[in-house]
Structure 1
Amino acid sequence: MADLTHPELRDLSIDQDLALRTAAVRLASEFTGLYGPETIERFLHTSYDQFATAHTVPNYLPLLAERFARQRLQALARVEGHHQDGKPVVLFLCTHNAGRSQMALGFFTALAGDRAVAWSGGSEPGTTINPAAITAMAERGIDITGEYPKPWTDEIVRAADVVIAMGCGDACPVFPGTRYENWEVADPDSLTPEQVRPIRDDLERRVRTLLDQFAIPAS
């Protein structure tokens, strides 16, 4: 049940409240035996908070909150040793999580398939994916329209084997024992698809090199 005393949830519409309650049930089912209702609701509510002030489509917020809460719980399960599948985990970070990190994530997911796990985040998440990045990736047959800008959280960073930073500078989180790489990649913000293509191609080369380091042949 959604806690209506929670600061960001007091003004929920009936539809939003129902959507969050339904999301809590789904997540509880997925993480049965790992996390109880209180943990599920806490992650769902704090995930909702992350988007409530930035996104302007209220009816979409519960879905974003559920997706982000699911990712955070999956990360927590890895950190706590509940999920050990041996797959490497890569986290791509940039400023707005709208261009570079999303394109890198798109390439990594398409090329690695189910042999690795990849997430992305931003220090100052935007509200939409860069349209020029979407167009440039579509030219490579990769659809990134299903992604969305989001922040990172401690459990997501701690779950990563490799953190790839692109332009987030001192805002990028650092945890001992985690491998970090800084990719000097131009920011595609406000660029045309034609201008984004060299950035896209640079990211593809870097992702392929990363996969080689993991000994994962590209699909």
Structure 2
Amino acid sequence: MASTPSVLFVCVHNAGRSQMAQGFLTHLAGNAIEVRSAGTAPAAQINSAAVEAMAEVDIDITAQTPKILTPDTVQTSDVVITMGCGDTCPYFPGVDYRDWKLDDPAGLGVDAVRPIRDEIRGLIEELVAELLPDRA
């Protein structure tokens, strides 16, 4: 793995789960980890309930936008974390793939998104401890 590890979060619409994960990892790791997210079929905008849920924990994801997943983005990542994109995610040997089984917040209100947000936060804290052991 590079001196600055690169993590890519992938979900279908790149509007909820992957955006919250990107927000948490950027918040917790700063510049120590390169953080990206993308989707196999990006939405037009980020899920408003995800934006609201993240604002409740003082993380602003309003500037993030859904992006299309490209093979180059996957290939240049050290860790690729998928969240419900299944077989539509490209596979490259040598890339560390992990699948996080998380509910899709699409169409849900903020009350239903909070538990998803909190689960993502726990997974991100574990990831930071693994990738940046000096911070643990």
TM bucket (normalised to shorter chain) is: over 0.9
Distance 1:125 1:115 in 2: 27
1:137-167 deviations in Å (ceiling 9; x for gaps): 0001000000001111122111100000000
4+ residue stretches of structure 1 with deviation over 3 A?
none
User: Please, which of 14, 21, 30 is the counterpart of residue 104 of structure 1?
Assistant: 21
Q: Counterpart amino acid of 1:126? A: A
Q: Counterpart amino acid of 1:94? A: C
Does 1:126 pair with 2:43? yes
What corresponds to 2:68 in structure 1? 151
What corresponds to 2:135 in structure 1? 217
* Structure 2 unmatched runs, 5+: none
What corresponds to 1:194 in structure 2? 111
Larger helix proportion of the pair: 1
Whether contact under 8 Å (1:112, 1:217) holds in the other structure is: no
* Structure 1 unmatched runs, 5+: 1-84
Kindly state the Cα deviation for residue 134 of structure 1 after the two structures are TM-superposed: 0.1
User: Please, which of 170, 176, 186 is the counterpart of residue 93 of structure 2?
Assistant: 176
Distance 1:171 1:94 in 2: 10
Whether contact under 8 Å (1:158, 1:175) holds in the other structure is: yes
Counterpart secondary structure, 2:9: strand
Whether contact under 8 Å (1:162, 1:180) holds in the other structure is: yes
User: TM-score, normalising length from structure 2?
Assistant: 0.95
Larger strand proportion of the pair: 2
Does 1:94 pair with 2:7? no
Q: Percent identity?
A: 49
User: TM-score, normalising length from structure 1?
Assistant: 0.60
Matched length: 134
Counterpart secondary structure, 2:135: coil
Which one has the largest radius of gyration?
1
Kindly state the Cα deviation for residue 129 of structure 1 after the two structures are TM-superposed: 0.2
Q: Counterpart amino acid of 1:115? A: A
What corresponds to 1:207 in structure 2? 124
Larger relative contact order (Cα-Cα within 8 Å, sequence gap ≥ 6) = 2
Distance 1:165 1:134 in 2: 20
Kindly state the Cα deviation for residue 217 of structure 1 after the two structures are TM-superposed: 2.5
Supply the RMSD in Å over aligned alpha carbons: 1.1
Whether contact under 8 Å (1:115, 1:216) holds in the other structure is: no
Q: Counterpart amino acid of 1:144? A: I
